[in-house]
Structure formats: C-alpha cells, structure tokens
C-alpha cells in the first residue's frame, strides 16, 4: 500500500490514491454515511449457489448468476461440482481451485479467499477464525 492509497468504506477494496471513487463498487472516496449505505456492502460474501472457477490456477469466486468466470472467462464447470467425492482425485471437501485448509474471510463486506498458511486476511487484515472450508 503506497502513501495516499485508500480503502473503500463500502466494500473494503484497496484503491490507488488517484481514484476519486472505488474501482470495485464506485462509492466516492469521501462518501457520506448515506452514500455508503446506497452503495451498500456490495455482495462479496459467499452465498448459496455461488461457485469457484475450476480452471487451473484460477479458483475465482463467482456469483450464482454467472455462467462464466468473470476473471478468466472459463465457462462454469458443472461436472466438477457434481463429481463424486474422491473420484479421479476430486476431493469433495475442497472447493475446486483451492487447497485443504484455505479459508474465506468472514468480515462483513470482505469474503476474500485466503490460503491456509495465512493467519489474517490478506485484504482486510482481519484475524483468521478457527472455522475452515
């Protein structure tokens, strides 16, 4: 983080100093409380039906409504989600693209995927809780 960079109060996205509004949710840099609530904590938490890109080295969280990964463009892989646990090396307890012990930050408005080795969220620095994915 460079001097002058700022974190959006609505969605906790880290923005460069030059931005007057958040890159992710477009909330103004110096938003009033009413403005923040109108941008709302844009949905970043993991909800039922959301999915993770199964493309090698992607693993991006996508909303249930998406048919393709917003990061890499790969089509949603329904077969990976339906695979029988442990068939062909598939571990049903681990989200595709993740490793055992990876976790999601449960701070409201964050929801970032973190590696198992992290003891605090990479994005918002919230300490890790015991619950793992």
| Segment 35-75, tens digit of pLDDT | 776 664 544 566 667 777 877 667 777 777 888 888 788 89
Nearest 5°: the CA angle 10, 113, 13 is 25
CB-based contact 128:119 (threshold 8 Å): yes
Among 51-65, 73-87, 118-132, the minimum mean pLDDT is found in: 73-87
* DSSP SS3 for 37: helix
Name which residue leads in pLDDT, 91 or 32.
32
Q: Does the pLDDT value for residue 132 go beyond 90? A: no
Q: Which residue has the tokens 């329904």?
A: 78
Domain 1-41: give its CATH architecture. Irregular (4.10)
Distance CA 12, CA 54 (A): 26
**pLDDT for 129:** 78
Distance CA 83, CA 115 (A): 24
CB-based contact 28:35 (threshold 8 Å): yes
**DSSP E strand boundaries for 47-128:** 51-52, 61-62, 103-104, 113-114
**pLDDT for 97:** 61
State pTM to two decimals: 0.35
Name which residue leads in pLDDT, 130 or 81.
130
């Amino acid at each position: 983080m460079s001097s002058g960079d700022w974190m959006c109060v609505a969605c906790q996205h880290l923005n460069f100093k030059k931005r007057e509004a958040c890159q992710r949710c477009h909330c103004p840099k110096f938003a009033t409380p009413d403005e923040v609530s109108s941008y709302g904590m844009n949905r970043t938490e993991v909800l039922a039906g959301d999915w993770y890109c199964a493309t090698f080295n992607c693993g991006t969280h996508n909303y249930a409504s998406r048919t393709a990964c917003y990061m890499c463009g790969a089509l949603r892989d329904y077969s990976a989600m339906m695979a029988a646990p442990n068939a062909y090396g598939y571990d049903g307890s681990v989200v595709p693209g993740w490793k055992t012990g990876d976790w999601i930050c449960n701070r409201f408005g964050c929801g970032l995927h973190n590696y198992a080795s992290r003891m605090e969220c990479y994005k918002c620095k919230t300490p890790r809780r015991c619950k793992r994915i």
